[in-house]
Amino acid sequence: MRLNSLRPAPGSRRDAERVGRGAGSGMGKTARRGHKGQKSRTGGFHKTGFEGGQMPLQRRVPKVGFRSRRGQYVAEVRLPELAAVDGDVVSLETLQAAGVVPRNTRSAKVIASGEIGRAVTLQGVRATAGARAAIEKAGGKVEA
């Protein structure tokens, strides 16, 4: 078998319609293009969405905002904000209950900004190296 001997399976491809080959063919005269107008003429091309010079729909509709799906709903929590959580265990649920992070937050990360006054245990909440050191210095711990 050679590349020049390859053929599609018999009956799998229809013959191209030969338009403009006389009145008896049923596809003569206008060659299925109709009468007049840009699309009836040679080179009658226009871009997708082109509306004849009228302002296209895609440009008429107001564009509103953008919300990135990367890093979606990751909240930053500062060290002093941990004091708002009741109890010694700080998790995503307790941060949401205390109103420190929004309800739609998927994950949270404690950053080393400010100071922490009491020992807390982080569960399921990430922490920067500086925040981890400050929590452990205050007598708390960070669990993965």
- Quick: pLDDT tens for 6-24: 999 999 999 999 999 999 9
Q: Are strands 121-123 and 89-90 parallel, antiparallel or unpaired?
A: parallel
Give yes or no for a contact between 100 and 77, defined as CB atoms under 8 angstroms apart: yes
Burial category of 31 from C-beta neighbours within 10 Å (exposed 0-12, middle 13-18, buried 19 and up): middle
pLDDT digits (tens, 9 = 90+) for 34-92: 999 988 999 988 889 999 899 999 999 999 998 777 766 789 999 999 999 998 999 99
Domains defined along the chain, listed by start: 74-143 (3.100.10.10)
pLDDT digits (tens, 9 = 90+) for 90-136: 999 999 999 999 888 889 999 999 999 899 999 999 999 999 999 99
Task: State pTM to two decimals.
Answer: 0.52
